[in-house]
Amino acid sequence: MTSQNLARLSQRMSAVTLLLIIAMLLLNAALWLFPQLSAESGYGFGFGLSNSLSSHLAAGAVFPWWQTLGGILLSSIPLLALAFGLSHLHQLFQSYARGEYFSSAAAVHLGKVGRGVALWVLLDFLCEPLLSLWVTLNAPAGEHLISLSITTPTFVALFLAACISIIARILWQASEVDSENRAFV
């Protein structure tokens, strides 16, 4: 692949990353505002914490506006951490589009992608019990729910976050060696 094709591909991936950030936040809010879209209702949409509580959302539960807004905010907290990581992925692709392959800035962006993914997993784990309690806040006594789950994708995401962080360290070291080599020439 030529450097011009690689630059074009990086620019496209940068744009796709921005679209992904917007789409995931909008889909999360849409599942709260229109619960009939959820996987439990037959439309097949599900996303993050909203998906894990989709049976409550699709069960015909009508939430007051403040509870819906709180649900959107609580389920968006982990997504905002992921959006942080994805925004750095966007910046990394922009650096690559400019031909900055071994820059320390690229390494920093890649490291923040890994941290964003790890923080997303942690916040997802912490927010799920809060969100499940929030959803059942108005339920009669004895029907309150506290949900906590650890799934295989959780471990995969943590593993990938660790790998991305290690690769970022390697890239940072490579950029240092590259800078030293350029200084000698």
Tokens at 168, concatenated: 């970022």
Cβ proximity of 154 and 118 under 8 Å: no
CB proximity list for 119: less than 8 A, separation 6 or greater: 81, 82, 84, 85
CB proximity list for 106: less than 8 A, separation 6 or greater: 92, 95, 96, 100, 171, 175
Which amino acid would we find at residue 79?
L
50 to each of 27, 40, 69, 82, 147, how far by Cα in Å? 10, 11, 13, 15, 12
User: How many Cβ atoms sit within 10 Å of the Cβ of residue 54?
Assistant: 20
Torsion angle (degrees, nearest 10) of CA 149, 152, 156, 159: 70
- Cα separation, 127 vs 138, whole angstroms: 18
- Cα separation, 157 vs 122, whole angstroms: 10
Tokens at 95, concatenated: 């650096």
Q: What are φ and ψ of residue 45, in 5° steps?
A: -85, 135
End-to-end CA distance of the chain: 28
- pTM of the full predicted structure? 0.84
- Cα separation, 38 vs 22, whole angstroms: 19
pLDDT at 180: 79
Using one digit for the tens of pLDDT, what is the confidence trace for 72-86? 999 999 999 999 999
Which residues of the chain fall short of a pLDDT of 50? Answer: 58
Cβ proximity of 26 and 18 under 8 Å: no
- Cα separation, 122 vs 101, whole angstroms: 30
